[in-house]
Amino acid sequence: MVKFHDPNVIQLEAAAFDHISYILEGIFLWELITTMDFEWNYVTAKRKFKWPLLLHSTCRICALGTVICSLIGSNVTHEINCQLWTTWNLIFVCASLSCASLLITLRVIAIWCHNHLAMAVTIGMCVTNIGFLLYGITAFRSKWSNDLKRCILENSYQGRYNITVTMVTDIAQLIIMLIGLLRSRQEKHG
């Protein structure tokens, strides 16, 4: 049976996690670079500027900040201020997730043609999501592990609430969006 608290096992799992992270971060950076022309078309005025682009760009920049923080954390060889690193990493993660949720909320509001009930529900979900994410920034604690030569979270179980709330609210908003699309389609054809 695997001894999950054995430092050698933890070291192997950390190395595997780092390798998977490098692959996913590489995919993100590739996607970011190959789609940069979208934002560049707005900068050069080839496309008309619309304010939701600010949320979209902020989401992408914060995701880039998350990748950079993750790469820093994966490659340190000496002790760092882990709490500061974790806090900045969480700020970028939460800002990116919040912007993505706001984009979904704006899309739902547009699809439902500013229906007051749809607006209230989706804005309520978005605010709930952002509230949990902000709580998550303050709730996590991390410290340096001399055995692993990296920062470790002391209370990683706190993250399950953030992940659950984000997933549930975003899925609920996507369902509301789908219902709105089906409703508008029926109105056009029927």
Structure tokens given for 129: 């999501």
Half-sphere exposure of 124 (CA within 13 A, CB side): 7
Rounded Cα–Cα distance for residues 29 and 26 (Å): 5
* Domains in the chain with CATH codes: 7-189 (1.20.1070.10)
> For position 52, what pLDDT does the model report?
85
Confidence of residue 189 (pLDDT cuts 50, 70, 90): confident
Rounded Cα–Cα distance for residues 86 and 105 (Å): 28
> For position 28, what pLDDT does the model report?
95
Mean pLDDT of the chain: 90
Per the DSSP assignment, residues forming a β-bridge with 152 are: 143
Span 7-14, average pLDDT:
82
DSSP state letter for 76: -
> For position 42, what pLDDT does the model report?
85
> What's the start-to-end Cα distance of the chain, in Å?
62
What would the pLDDT profile of 134-145 be if each residue is shown by its tens digit?
A: 988 888 889 998
DSSP state letter for 156: G
Give SS3 for 140. coil
pLDDT > 80? residue 58? yes
